[in-house]
Structure 1
């Protein structure tokens, strides 16, 4: 009996009508209650996000650390690792773990029946705002980048990206298999997690210290973009290996071709149609024409990238590069800043909030094996990226150490690998914990190190001038 036939049969029984009506009325009441309280949950979450981001950012700025590091730490404090103010179902949390839910129950009359729906819904909204935040961030970074400079450093960026993927993957996988006796598939998955680079975190730090437009900064950004593409391919290959036990070559080829065609095609076509976009903007008489047209273009390319199984952030970055070559660049940069100030902190705080630093507790026996593996992964993660800068031979004036350090943070990209591995059942608890610890450490140590390695050459240059005077 189908559901439709069943409920028609129920409705035909007059003695059941009051019961059916009561059940339907109850569902309607829950939905009506949920609607307003979902908004309340989103608003409270945003208050927490902005408070955590500004408090952490201000503290770090005053002790000469990148504010983005403070946003990440602020996220850890309000997230699953500490106060449980901002928790998410994908982190394994339930509504009972959320202090926002408790607050809504005590102050807004949230009922137990509506609690799961409200928790899942407002958490999903915040996660979506977080994804929008990183899209806006990469669009802003694209606007601040120089396409001609990126093309010029393209071969160098490609070398850095390839070495930054192959070296940590090979060292990590081999070490886990032969030193720690980890099974091959989990070892490959952990090795794959080492290949990622969080372009969002690195780009934000480079912008904060005024090095985004430097040659080193452009190499790092170019390499990080290529890293994302290669990382997507690696993740697809490993996921296919876990599901089928074999690598589907056709899927790998499709991802490589689609990534190349999208990036090159979007830039070439974008440069051809950008004069039309500028002409359209110039004809508009309403407010916000530059910002809304620019964001529409960025979201369109982000959508296309997402549809062809690439990262949406690549599309947003490409849109920024294209519009940066128009005479609307400066105006668009200025107008995007307030939008970025609203959405980008949501991304960084959420990355911190979803990170469980409880896996660092050595007093828990189940964590010890994971910590030993994590120590190995951290060493490989750092060395495997730092050496990338030193593969650029014949470039004596480039700060090669800064390039390598800029490739270190794994951030949300590494967490994606850990999440996919966990969902597939390929990872043991120890290996999953080790990957999470590696992501935490590389994410938090890279920003201050990046600022340090960029500062040292500047001080070295200033010293001779001071001596001569």
Structure 2
């Protein structure tokens, strides 16, 4: 996703991995594998314990995975730390454990830490790709198209309201310069589709009208987020907006989404025929994953996001007669990889910026309070733009658009590395991301379940 793509550029590039691997000793190579395995053990323990606690408290399990990530990450126990989260080999308990148990050298510890962090980050990326593929399989293309106009309005209002509210509020209320204010306003725009989709699936509201509107709007939000990212990144570098780049992203996004769906419908009969001819294990799952990864690659190659390709692949294959069997086979894969994404996203978040006793945090917290208000209100009002004759839970649609997740951190990451954002404004954006991410799951659970409970009580009466 955007977060890891930018982080990769700003902290650790692929050109650095090759020389690191070349200089790694045999014992260091063993430590790398050991580090990945221990990291996965920590991730799965944090995921299952957190999810189980939340499930028993009638809260979304994904919230437990996010909380588990906080506990094992840079904010608490330092078991799972990453360079982009402010960690290094010296404060990683996993690396220190490897030094003590595998004979890892201090020089090798740096290499092991960097490679281990990137491997886990890549697994998290694959996890969210699988999640969106699964969500695509669960979605109904016809229903998405039916609510398409509603989704488009929700997405546009959900981007415009927080962007303009945040930008002008920072300029006129806090005296923030124009470009930093635009950066902060941009960080308020995009919705974390991974978090929202997971909660909707857990609540079994994914195929309800509200769920389809939220998913459609979140997908469009993601596309708009990429375009806005291109604009603010251009502003940060040159002070000007490269219109050709923006137009390219708009055209390529529309062409990809429409073309993939249309060509996918033509491809479906051949897919079923190929699957029926295969006689080896994985005859359904492997071709489906190949198709999902091909579309994910194409989306990435044209500077969109891999998750858009995966979601589109799921939508296309959901229309085949193999859909039910495929969903059953994808679920175990998702159970393995998706928790990595949620735990890692949370582990990279340092909630130390919420500490009001640290003097440099106080200005950021004041600005953060304003950004949080705009972030929530700006998305909630987007839900009330849905006007139809049917009874629709508009509040739930707005709440579903609230979580910013890793997407908001991307804008903060670009702004801080380019020097556009001040320390207090950078901290304010991080606080906004943290709170909107963690507030969304319980709020979604509340606004969706409450009407159902009232309905049941009415019928009993």
TM-score, with structure 2 as normaliser: 0.94
The counterpart of 2:125, out of the listed 105, 128, 131, is: 131
Aligned counterparts of 1:213 and 1:394: Cα–Cα separation in 2: 18
Is contact 2:81-2:348 (8 Å) kept?
yes
Partner of 1:7: none
Which residue in the other structure is 2:103 paired with? 109
Q: 1:240–1:248: 8 Å Cα contact kept in structure 2?
A: yes
What is the 5 A alignment of 1:64-463? 64-463=58-457
Q: Note the alpha carbon deviations across 1:14-39, whole angstroms, 9 max, x for none.
A: xxxxxxxxxxxxx9774322211110
SS in 2 for 1:113: helix
**Per-residue CA distance 1:209-241 (angstroms, 9 max, x = gap):** 110000000000000000000011011101111
Q: Distance in 1 between matches of 2:46 and 2:456?
A: 37
Partner of 1:21: none
- Equivalent residue of 1:114, what SS? helix
The RMSD of aligned alpha carbons is 1.2
CA distance in structure 2 between the aligned counterparts of 1:353 and 1:322, rounded to whole angstroms: 34
Distance 2:198 2:356 in 1: 33
Partners in 2 of 1:76 and 1:416 — Cα distance?
A: 19
Secondary structure at 1:449 match in 2: helix
Q: Distance in 2 between matches of 1:157 and 1:29?
A: 51
1:305 and 1:312 in contact (8 A); partners too:
yes
Residues 167-176 or 30-39, more deviating: 30-39
3-state DSSP class of the match of 1:267? helix
Residues 59-95 of structure 1, C-alpha deviations (whole Å, 9 max, x = no match)? 0000010000000000011000000000011222210
1:15 aligns with: none
Which residue in 1 is equivalent to 2:15?
Answer: none
The answer to whether the 8 A contact 1:377-1:435 is kept is: yes
Match of 2:38 in 1: 44
- Cα distance between partner residues in 2 of 1:172 and 1:452: 27
Q: Quick check: 2:47–2:343 contact (8 Å CA) kept in 1? A: yes
Say if 1:30 and 1:113, in contact at 8 Å, map to a contact too: no
Query: How far has the Cα of 1:451 moved from its partner?
Result: 0.7
Deviations 1:400-449 (A, max 9, x none): 00000000000111112211222222111101100000000000011011
CA 1:361–1:219 in structure 2 vs 1: closer, same or farther (change >3 Å)?
same
- Give secondary structure in 2 for the equivalent of 1:179: helix
Distance 1:395 1:171 in 2: 30
**Equivalent residue pairs, number:** 442
Asked if the contact 2:50–2:65 (Cα under 8 Å) also holds between the matched residues in 1, the reply is: yes
Q: Based on CA coordinates, which of the two structures has the bigger radius of gyration? A: 1
CA contact (8 A) 1:405 1:446 kept: yes
Q: Write the distance in 2 (CA, Å) between the matches of 1:252 and 1:448.
A: 36
Question: Structure 2: how far apart are the matches of 1:241 and 1:139?
Answer: 34
Q: Which runs of 5+ in 2 are unaligned?
A: 1-20
Gaps of 5+ in 1: 1-26
CA distance in structure 1 between the partners assigned to 2:454 and 2:90 by the alignment? 55
> How far 1:452 moved relative to its partner?
0.6
Query: In 1, are the aligned partners of 2:28 and 2:105 still within 8 Å (CA)?
Result: no
Distance in 1 separating the partners of 2:276 and 2:427:
54
The 3-state SS of whatever aligns with 1:456 is helix
Are the counterparts in 2 of residues 405 and 450 from structure 1 also a CA contact under 8 Å?
Answer: yes
The 3 A distance-change label for structure 1 pair 291 and 363 is same
Deviation of 1:52 after TM superposition, in Å, equals: 0.1
Q: Work out whether residues 234 and 242 of structure 2, in 8 Å CA contact, stay in contact via their aligned partners in 1.
A: yes
CA distance in 1, matches of 2:390, 2:269: 39
